[in-house]
Amino acid sequence: MRRTTVRPASESTRLRPGRLPARRLRAVRRRERGSGGAATFAHCLHAEWIKIRTMRSTLYVLLGTLAFCAGLAALNGSSAGDEFAGLSPADQAAFDPLATSLRGYLIAQITLGLLGGLVITSEYGTRTIVSTLASVRHRGRVLTSKAVVLVAVAFPTGLVVSSTGFLVGQAALSGAGAPHLTLSDGGALRGIFGGGLYLALAGLFGLALGTVIRSTTATVTTLFGVMLIVQPFAPALPGGLGDWVTTYWPPIAGGQIITSYQDPDLLTPWAGLGVMAGCVAVMMGAAHAVFRKRDA
């Protein structure tokens, strides 16, 4: 009978319980560092969608924005329509039915900017940002997923708000016997679609501010200052500064997208929206830089 001899493993090939060879351990660590752990970008998107969907403020902000903008469009359309007959010929020539019906964007930009800020500041307020960053090592992946989910919510909301405001406002203008537009008229679809884009940019602007500031109260205060307070005071600024702010201040320039009357002293609608988009891109870049370097 042939006898098989089993030799004991050498000391160098033995593994201690629960230990990996040094080469394999280094390879695993490299893979973990390269992939940010087990959390992929798809996982981050799913997690951020759950967060924004389950925040109580999300539903309140969206429904409140829609109701307020529809009501304001009806009031503006009715008021402007009643006053149209008494305007001077120059004012009648400059009458802008599109901007009249979409004037609610002034408040919608604040509410969607607030929603964007809450996407990040709510986590800092409850300190859940610590567990988020512990689960996903790539901080840029976290902030990018927040931005993508926010746009996926804010852009359709902006389209609904703009469409509702347009239809309600134009109906009010028509009922008052003032000039009005239909969806087939030039500039109508551009104003609705551009209004949705503008409000999505306002949400991203709020996200960028919230990432840098980290405080919900301070974010709201800054949003009011940047988007609402500067605009009425711009003409009162001295000399060329007032003209520059009136033309190039991002929220003012971006607001040209909802106008049908082109003021020759201001930017064209798409150029103005481009200025707003460039400002938001710079702010998001700064937010990414701060988010990566600062402790949670």
> How do residues 192-208 score in pLDDT, each as one tens digit?
999 999 999 999 999 99
Per residue in 69-115, pLDDT (tens digit) is 999 999 999 999 999 989 999 999 899 999 999 999 999 999 999 99
Neighbours of 220 (CB within 10 A): 20
What ranges in the chain are assigned the alpha helix state H? 22-35, 41-54, 56-84, 89-93, 97-101, 105-126, 129-135, 139-175, 188-213, 216-224, 230-233, 239-248, 250-254, 269-293
φ, ψ of residue 124 in degrees (nearest 5): -70, -35
pLDDT > 80? residue 62: yes
pLDDT > 70? residue 16: no
Spatial distance between the Cα atoms of 184 and 203, rounded to a whole number of angstroms: 29
Which pTM was predicted?
0.85
- For residues 7-25, average pLDDT: 46
- For residues 6-20, average pLDDT: 45
pLDDT > 70? residue 36: no
What are 151's two structure tokens? Answer: 């746009």
Residue 81 identity (one-letter amino acid): G
CA distances from 285 to 51, 167, 282 (A): 23, 37, 5
Closest CA to 245 of 262, 268, 229, 260: 229
Residue 145 identity (one-letter amino acid): S
Q: Are 28 and 20 in contact (CB under 8 A)?
A: yes
Q: Are 114 and 206 in contact (CB under 8 A)?
A: yes
Q: How far is CA 225 from the centre of its chain?
A: 17
Q: Are 18 and 85 in contact (CB under 8 A)?
A: no
Residue 26 banded pLDDT, cuts 50, 70, 90: low
Residue 276 banded pLDDT, cuts 50, 70, 90: very high
Q: How far is CA 110 from the centre of its chain?
A: 10
